[in-house]
Structures are given as structure tokens and as C-alpha cells.
Amino acid sequence: MARRARPMGHCARCSRACWKDADDFRSWNGTVDKGVLVALICPQCQSPEEHTEAEVGEAVLDYANAVPDAQGRPIVPLRLDPSTDHTH
Ligand SMILES: [Zn+2]
């Protein structure tokens, strides 16, 4: 299966590309600010504490369905969306 041309992002520490079809994708740690993925840390660069955070984040955020916004930043949808809007 061919890889996509664009990775999700790069590790903030070693610049390794993050591919969402990679075997260790679920172990990456993403920092999300208001639903925007702002930083990624690969499994090798994570401390044990960060690794725990990654597991928590993975449970809550649906990284696999992230889509880039107009600036090319991945928008990660929340699996649990407490603010589902009914206001439109
Ligand atoms: Zn790294």
C-alpha cells in the first residue's frame, strides 16, 4: 500500500514524519489545542509519563480521522464531543 505524500506532521524532537498508517501511529503523542493538532512526539522521544498521556489522548481523540484545515494543520475530531453544536 502506497504511503500518502503528506504525513500527519513531524516529531517535535527528532523531526521524524508521522504517518497515520504506520504500525506505531497509536503510540505517537499529540498535543491538541482547541481541536487543532499543534505538536507531535514520536514513541522513541516520549518519556514514560508522556507515553501514558499518549494512551489517554488516543482514547479521546480520533487522530485517524484528522483532516487538515486551511493552514494545513490537522484538525483532530474528539471521539467524545461535549460541545456538539445545535446552534447553526
Ligand atoms: Zn522523535
Q: How far apart are CA 64 and CA 32, in angstroms?
A: 14
Q: What is the mean pLDDT of the chain?
A: 77
Distance 73 CA to ligand 1 centre (A): 19
pLDDT in tens, 16-55: 999 988 888 888 888 878 877 788 899 999 888 877 776 6
Task: State the pLDDT at residue 78.
Answer: 64
Sign of CA dihedral 78, 85, 37, 52: negative
- Residue corresponding to grid cell 524532537: 13
pLDDT at 58 over 70: no
DSSP 11: B
For the chain, give the percent of residues with pLDDT over 90.
12
| Whether the Cβ atoms of residue 59 and residue 43 lie closer than 8 Å to each other | no
Distance 30 CA to ligand 1 centre (A): 12
Q: How far apart are CA 52 and CA 6, in angstroms?
A: 27
